[in-house]
């Protein structure tokens, strides 16, 4: 028995040591909660394997119509960081933080310092009128997304300095993919004529401004806020005046109201993704933005 023991005991000791040290490393990882898909996507890409990143919103809910549950409060209370898009789209933020009380983690606003737009008039004039409020859909511009990534990177490096270099390396690789995405949008859309954009909700002013789309209008300011008959009549008038050929519903969602406007104005219906609903991972933002680019190209392509 002696020879076996001589090998078995050190082997067991080593195994125990390895198990414990991998557990210790596991517990050292910081826990980050993000609000919804684009922010989850960017944060997951920067964090790689060095942090635990999870999304607060389930894959069926968007930030406009999210309802807080007790489990959400617990999730936030257990996190080291909570990263949001900001610009007010997380309208339930204050209630969530209040409920988390003294256990609330630092909140990182990924849009801090970004230039914001308000109403569609802002897009036409290029000047933001603060009285019109601010449009929160900044993530749909791949250039602004790079600034959000820089904000998120800084927050991760501050919360977890031991992995600062890895986060910086991951962020650089991810940012180069965002730059490629931007270049592909710019090239693909530049030569197309009549880039008239009409969407279901007011989610695309930043994208429109970036790539020179004519943001004619939207059906709803935000989902579940129906337009007045007068607003709708004005929109139908504009659609006819600009000879808008395609209206964009949202991915997997073409509300009756939009279909009616399309029927009244003779426009076709296509889809754009606001990236508000769904589960984020490190590639979700890039993949879904590319799907949007394909939809825009198809809609604006001249009829042969």
Contact letters for Zn ion, residues 70-99 (x by CB under 5 A): ------------------------------
Q: CA-to-CA distance for 53 and 41, rounded, in angstroms?
A: 10
* Cβ-based nearer residue to Zn ion, 116 or 153: 116
Judged by CB under 5 A, does residue 277 bind Zn ion?
Answer: no
Q: How far is the CB of 22 from Zn ion (least distance, A)?
A: 42
- Residue of 87, 171, 203, 258 that binds Zn ion (CB under 5 A): 203
Pick 32 or 203: Cβ nearer Zn ion: 203
Enumerate the H helices of 126-199 as residue ranges: 142-159, 164-190
Q: What is the side-by-side order of every strand in the sheet holding 196-201?
A: 214-220, 196-201, 246-250, 268-272
Closest residue (Cβ) to Zn ion? 203
Of 199 and 265, nearer to Zn ion (C-beta) is: 199
Contact segment (CB under 5 A) with Zn ion among 27-35, 121-129, 189-197, 203-211 equals 203-211
- Shortest distance (Å) from residue 273 CB to Zn ion: 11
Nearest distance in Å: CB 64, Zn ion: 5
Considering the complex, state which of residue 73 and residue 93 has its C-beta at the smaller distance from Zn ion. 93
Stretch that binds Zn ion, among 112-120, 160-168, 202-210, 257-265 (CB under 5 A): 202-210
Closest CA to 235 of 277, 275, 196, 206: 196
Report the distance separating Cα 257 and Cα 247, nearest Å.
Answer: 12
What is the C-alpha to C-alpha distance for residues 195 and 190, in angstroms, rounded to an integer?
Answer: 9
Instruction: Give the number of other CB atoms < 10 A from CB of residue 118.
Output: 17
Complex with Zn ion: residue 138 or 262, whichever CB lies closer: 138
How many residues touch Zn ion under the rule CB under 5 A: the total is 1
Beta-sheet strand order (sheet of 51-55): 51-55, 30-34, 81-84, 107-109
Cβ proximity to Zn ion, 98 vs 225, nearer residue: 225
Cβ–Cβ < 8 Å for 227, 220: yes
Q: Report, in this order, helix, strand and coil percent for the chain, each rounded to 5.
A: 55, 15, 30
Query: From the CB of 276, what's the least distance to Zn ion, in Å?
Result: 5
Residues that bind Zn ion (CB under 5 A): 203
């Amino acid at each position: 028995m002696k020879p076996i023991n001589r090998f078995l005991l050190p082997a067991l000791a080593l195994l125990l040591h390895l198990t414990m040290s991998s557990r210790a490393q596991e517990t050292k990882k910081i826990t980050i909660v993000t609000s919804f898909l684009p922010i989850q996507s960017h944060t997951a890409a920067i964090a790689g394997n060095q942090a635990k990143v999870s999304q607060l919103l389930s894959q069926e809910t968007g930030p406009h119509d999210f309802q807080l549950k007790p489990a959400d409060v617990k999730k936030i209370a257990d996190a080291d960081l909570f990263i949001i898009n900001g610009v007010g789209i997380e309208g339930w933020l204050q209630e969530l933080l209040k409920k988390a009380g003294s256990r609330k983690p630092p909140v990182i606003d990924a849009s801090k310092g970004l230039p914001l737009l308000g109403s569609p008039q802002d897009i036409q004039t290029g000047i933001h009128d603060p009285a019109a409020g601010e449009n929160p859909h900044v993530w749909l511009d791949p250039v602004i997304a790079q600034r959000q990534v820089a904000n998120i990177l800084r927050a991760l490096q501050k919360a977890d300095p031991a992995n600062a270099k890895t986060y910086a390396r991951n962020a650089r690789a991810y940012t180069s993919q965002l730059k490629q995405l931007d270049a592909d949008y710019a090239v693909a859309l530049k030569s197309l004529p009549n880039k008239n954009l009409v969407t279901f909700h007011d989610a695309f002013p930043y994208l429109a401004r970036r790539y020179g789309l004519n943001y004619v209008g939207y059906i709803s300011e935000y989902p579940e806020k129906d337009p007045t008959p007068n607003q709708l009549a004005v929109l139908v008038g504009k659609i006819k005046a600009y000879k808008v050929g395609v209206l964009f519903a949202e991915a997997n969602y073409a509300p009756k109201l939009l279909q009616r406007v399309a029927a009244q104005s003779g426009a076709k219906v296509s889809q754009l993704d606001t990236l508000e609903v769904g589960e984020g991972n490190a590639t979700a933002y890039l993949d879904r933005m590319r799907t949007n680019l394909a939809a825009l190209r198809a809609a604006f392509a001249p009829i042969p």
